[in-house]
């Protein structure tokens, strides 16, 4: 098996900001409620006409530049998303064409907010086995298109964005050390979209009932999230032969500052080792972890040899964690 890890990271977010003050004018909410319950102050919203592949391609382009690699070196593209441009074809194929990546295998993967870690796991296995030379892993979501802007319990939470990494060979002993993925489909209806799939196609009635938008049992997802953030982190650390004391940087899914805080306390990880940007972007679903990782690199918070743990949870219900040792070929060093 070849040592395999992240060679470059990039991200892209829409320019338009939606603040808590803006939301106060749209639904019965307040900056005070949103800030204390979630930690979110603003989020980015894609303009009409901007789709997942637009953000994904921009993030991937930056990741390739940071890795100093050309599109022709990529032979696998995995896009984690639940808001692809179309039901089919995959958004990965649109990115393949947009970036001029010749003949790469390309597919989308739906694991909600855990999607990036799921896709990273697949790319890691694909490259380390020798089946692929290098992969692009992209987490992207345009949740604003599936958000019910009349539902104050969900619309204050979400935002749009993309993050991307190039996965390829690294020095021995570096790169991804272990992954851990899991699911519990008995919680499927805790976070889902009722209509628009094969179980309930869109009809005038489903549209009137606003069933084309996200429905969530926030409290149940909250409790699930705190539990799996801790459990998944401990399991991936065990698989990597590490303890939480070894972790230089913890990159959790950015859903709610209270979930991050509760998980960090349980794991004994202090704030200066945690990446937090939920205040500026809200919950960007599959984009959240690579977006946080990209910003941490740009801020100089990661150096060669650092141990990093990424952990996510989301619709499915799903969870996923990855532990890695940073190689440092990445251009921000």
Which residues here bind ligand UT7, judged by CB under 6 A?
A: 29, 33-34, 37-38, 113, 152-153, 156, 191, 216, 218-219, 221-222, 225, 255-256, 283, 314
Structure tokens at 296: 């941490």
Strands of the 135-142 sheet, one edge to the other: 4-12, 160-169, 135-142, 76-80, 105-109
User: Out of 11, 20, 93, 113, which one is annotated catalytic?
Assistant: 113
* Shortest separation between residue 111's beta carbon and ligand UT7, angstroms: 11
194 three-class SS = coil
Q: How far is the CB of 78 from ligand UT7 (least distance, A)?
A: 19
Q: Which is nearer to ligand UT7, 129 or 153 (CB)?
A: 153
CB of 153 to ligand UT7, least distance (A): 4
Cβ-based neighbours of 25, under 8 Å, separated by 6 or more: none
Q: Is 164 helix (H, G, I), strand (E, B) or coil?
A: strand
Beta carbons within 8 Å of 302's beta carbon, 6+ residues apart = 248, 249, 296, 308, 326, 330, 332
Query: 314 and 141 in contact (C-beta within 8 Å)?
Result: no
Active site residue 11: no
| Nearer to ligand UT7 among residue 33 and residue 192 (C-beta) | 33
Cβ 276 to ligand UT7 shortest distance, Å: 14
Asked if 277 is an active-site residue, the reply is no
Determine the residue with CB nearest ligand UT7.
218
Q: Which is nearer to ligand UT7, 187 or 328 (CB)?
A: 187
| Selected catalytic residue, list 155, 253, 256, 310 | 253
3 state DSSP class of 242: coil
In 10 A of CB 115, how many CB atoms?
A: 33
- The residue (of 55 and 191) whose beta carbon lies closer to ligand UT7 is 191
| Residues involved in catalysis | 113, 253, 283
């Amino acid at each position: 098996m070849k040592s395999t890890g992240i060679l470059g990271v990039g991200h892209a977010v829409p320019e338009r900001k939606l603040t808590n003050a803006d939301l106060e004018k749209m639904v019965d909410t307040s900056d005070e409620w949103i800030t204390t319950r979630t930690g979110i102050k603003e989020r980015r919203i894609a303009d009409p006409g901007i789709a997942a592949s637009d953000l994904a391609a921009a993030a991937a382009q930056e990741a390739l530049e940071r890795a100093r690699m050309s599109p022709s070196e990529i032979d696998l593209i995995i896009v984690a998303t639940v808001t692809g441009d179309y039901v089919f074809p995959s958004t990965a194929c649109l990115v393949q064409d947009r970036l001029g990546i010749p003949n790469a295998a390309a597919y989308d993967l739906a694991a909600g907010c855990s999607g990036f870690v799921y896709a990273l796991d697949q790319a890691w296995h694909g490259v380390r086995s020798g089946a692929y030379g290098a992969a692009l892993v992209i987490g992207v979501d345009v949740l604003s298109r599936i958000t019910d802007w009349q539902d104050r319990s969900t619309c204050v939470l979400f935002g749009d964005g993309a993050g991307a990494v190039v996965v390829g060979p690294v020095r021995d002993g570096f790169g991804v050390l272990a992954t851990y993925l899991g699911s519990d489909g008995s919680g499927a209806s805790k976070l889902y979209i009722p209509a628009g799939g094969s179980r309930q196609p869109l009809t005038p009635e489903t549209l009137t009932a606003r069933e084309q938008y996200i429905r969530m049992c926030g409290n149940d997802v909250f409790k699930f999230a705190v539990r799996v953030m801790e459990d998944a982190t401990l399991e991936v650390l065990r698989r990597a032969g590490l303890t939480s004391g070894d972790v230089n940087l913890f990159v959790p899914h950015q859903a709610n500052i209270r979930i991050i805080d509760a998980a960090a306390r349980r794991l004994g990880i202090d704030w200066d080792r945690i990446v937090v940007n939920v205040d500026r972007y809200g919950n960007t679903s599959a984009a959240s972890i690579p977006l946080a990782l990209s910003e941490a690199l740009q801020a100089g918070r990661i150096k060669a040899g650092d141990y990093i743990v990424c952990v996510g949870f989301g619709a499915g219900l799903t969870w996923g964690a990855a532990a890695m040792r940073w190689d440092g070929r990445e251009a921000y060093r």
